[in-house]
Amino acid sequence: MRRPEQGSGRADWHRTAKIADPEQQDELPEAGIREVVKQLLQTPHKHLHIVFGQVNDKETGNILALLPKEATYYFCKANIPRGLDAIELKRQAMAAGLTGRSYGSVRRALAAALKAASSGDLVFVGGSTFVVAEVIH
């Protein structure tokens, strides 16, 4: 397994978008997820592990439907009031055809993903920016 600090370079998956039509802003999260999934699937790996959390005031169904079904998921809640409960997120994800477990924190979910990953696997942390922030800091 390649960890970011061990890789040959830093993946730049951050995208900016300018929306001219305010009605199109609702499509931005789905477009971002589509791009991330595309890049994840293009990144060489044996198995994909995804540490994933969402906020409770966003529609999750459309996002979950875009995620790769063959990955193993580690559902978590960011340590913020807006974080979506990990058990509820797992319930919604299972209804969308995803498989995984829920964890009490982002750190526990990441630790489980890293422990389960084998050489050549890819571990991705995403969903809410707040989930990613907890891993970075």
Domains detected in the chain? 4-136 (3.90.190.20)
Q: Which residues contact 121 (CB under 8 A, 6 or more apart)?
A: 1, 45, 46, 47, 48, 49
Question: Using one digit for the tens of pLDDT, what is the confidence trace for 55-96?
Answer: 998 888 889 999 999 999 999 999 999 999 999 999 999 999
Q: From CA 33, how far away is CA 94, in angstroms rounded?
A: 18
Reported as type and span, the H/E element at residue 113 is helix 106-116
- Locus of tokens 């924190």: 105
Q: Three-state SS for 45?
A: coil
Q: How much is the mean pLDDT over the chain? A: 83
Bigger pLDDT: 23 vs 82: 82
Higher pLDDT, 128 or 107: 107
Report the pLDDT averaged over residues 48-58.
94
User: Of 17-31, 63-77, 96-110, where does mean pLDDT reach its minimum?
Assistant: 17-31
Model pLDDT, residue 28: 55
What is the rounded distance in angstroms from the CA atom of residue 2 to the CA atom of residue 11? Answer: 12
Q: Is the pLDDT of residue 104 over 50?
A: yes
Task: Say which residue the tokens 């060489």 belong to.
Answer: 44
Enumerate helices (H) and strands (E) in the chain, giving the number of each.
Answer: 5, 4
For residues 106-133, give the mean pLDDT. Answer: 95
Look at residue 50 and tell me whether its pLDDT is greater than 80. Answer: yes
> So what's the pLDDT on residue 18?
38
| Reported confidence tier of residue 32, pLDDT bands at 50, 70, 90 | confident
